[in-house]
Chain A
Amino acid sequence: MSDYKNFTMNFGPQHPAAHGVLRLILEMDGEVIRSADPHIGLLHRATEKLAESKPYNQNIGYMDRLDYVSMMCNEHAYVLAIEDIMKLDIPERSKYIRVMFDEITRILNHLLWLGAHALDIGAMSVFLYAFREREDLMDCYEAVSGTRMHATYYRPGGVSKDLPNVMPKYMLNKNQNLDQVEKLNYNREGSLLDFIESFIDRFPKNVDEYENLLTDNRIWKQRTVGIGVVSPERAVDLGFTGPMLRGSGIEWDLRKKQPYEIYKDLEFDIPVGTEGDSYDRYLVRMQEMRESARIIKQCCNWLKTDNGEYISSNYKIAPPDRDDMKESMESLIHHFKLFSEGYCLPVGETYACVEAPKGEFGIYLISDGANKPYRLKIRAPGFPHLASLDEMAKGHMLSDVVTIIGTQDIVFGEIDR
């Protein structure tokens, strides 16, 4: 008998293809994976425990940092949970703003996923092109909230600021003359909505570009077709959500199945795969970007005709207008109370979830009547996905592990939280 034994290999936590701090213990039979054991917890920041010590509003910023490529969707689930316990109705305009930025976030996330996934498999240019488009969406984030990533933009009762009527512009500098700068500013003359519209108008063409580079490409197909196949039954059993589940052929999307905000008034389709392999999940996500663009377009059109309130006028939950606060004593008291003590929720518990780009992102919130959560549990979509890595990778080659990690769209901020 041979003396050969399987050997174990450490993959990460500093491996460039491991998407953050993933540590995999791979049991290898030659170059074939016999088992893959993900070790998590290297990015644990105790967000859930931290939230128990802070008034409700102060936790919003920490939600951004969970899944740090789909920031506003995380905030959304959190504020939905609070609004659900309070039974708070929010202005129509803020619902549209939230949905629009949820979909911008979806495109942001999928672009990063596409770029990183393609780069892992060996296609460099897609990464560069995807980041070119991401830059414009980051500008939308910055224009509206003041930061490119960790927006802290949603608030219980609406959103913190209205959409700006002017876009920031490129400045004249010693490298470029006036003509060149004006050319850069061509879509920044109007408001943020005009800027988003001009982006949405050209974005489908950009997706075509990525698809031309990848969809028929033989290398891309050899690396993704038939890799990491999950049957529809297994996908449900494993707790998959989002594109991972839809790639296996199950039409499940919270935006359709239990519509929140104004999704039921919007027109969009849910792309579904057939084979359940990495290639199908790629196709599903590409189509999702197009659908997101459609949703953003509809929101833009609605927002352009509307001049409503962007945040609730219930001053127990949302701060009063700044000018009012400086004039009226009552507003000042509301302002001080809100920013020091915050507000108390009625006793109760709820589970609120949104269709985040990666799947179902949920917040389970228990309130004991205090001004901070009694318990906050985060349901991160990446966690069950990563848990199935062993099953998906078994029998594949070492290089396919990289594909499978890519196709799962793993972000450690939310898995380790």
Chain B
Amino acid sequence: MNKIIKFIKSLFFLEILKGLKITGQKLSKEPITIQYPEEKTPLSSRFRGLHALRKYPNGEERCIGCKLCEAVCPALAISIDTEERSDKTRRTTKYEIDLFKCIYCGFCEEACPVDAIVETGIFEYHFERRKDSVMNKLDLLKIGDMYEKEELKDRERNKL
């Protein structure tokens, strides 16, 4: 008896039809495709993308050159030089991140005692010249200015 059922099942391609039913049903369903770049997938407030250096609301740069991020970076992607300014405070003269070395682990952000270096939600960027992959202090501060609003919003959401 079992043999007959098996024979009929295989004769009429029943298991293939079962599969075709599943794929066929998808025809009437709405596609789940995201039409990037017009549509985007959700981005977490903890996302670790392109780096930025932040400033205080009064325009003073936050980074005090403690070099903790340089010490903690597993990929040795950060290099910093510091100098004492005329107002006796210490600030960086060179702050470079090599984005080809960076593994985006987020340790620099975690280590920074003054919330200066952050990893923003920017994940779409490119370089046109080879040396562009090494971001210097000015680039980083510029991204920080651009991204400050989103950064504050992300911080609010992370506290929830």
Contact = CB atoms under 8 A, between A and B. Distances in A.
Nearest to A171: B40
B72 A340 contact: yes
A121 interface: no
A220 B110 CA distance: 49
A400 B109 CA distance: 49
B16 interface: yes
Given A58-B74, A175-B38, A147 B48 contact: yes
B47 A176 contact: no
B105 A152 contact: yes
Most A Cβ at <10 Å: residue of B22, B103, B105: B105
A60 B160 CA distance: 27
B16 A168 contact: no
A144 B46 CA distance: 7
Contacts of A32: none
B151 interface: no
A73 to B, nearest CB: 18
Interface in A139-179: 139, 142-147, 150, 152, 160-161, 164-171, 173-176
Contacts of A173: 38-40
B119 interface: yes
Contacts of A335: 111, 113
Interface string A345-361: 00000000000000000
Contact of A170 (B19, B35, B42, B104): B42
A218 interface: yes
B23 to A, nearest CB: 5
Contacts of A54: 74
A213 interface: yes
Interface of B: 10, 15-16, 18-19, 22-23, 26, 32, 35, 38-48, 66, 68, 71-74, 103-107, 110-111, 113, 119, 157-158, 160
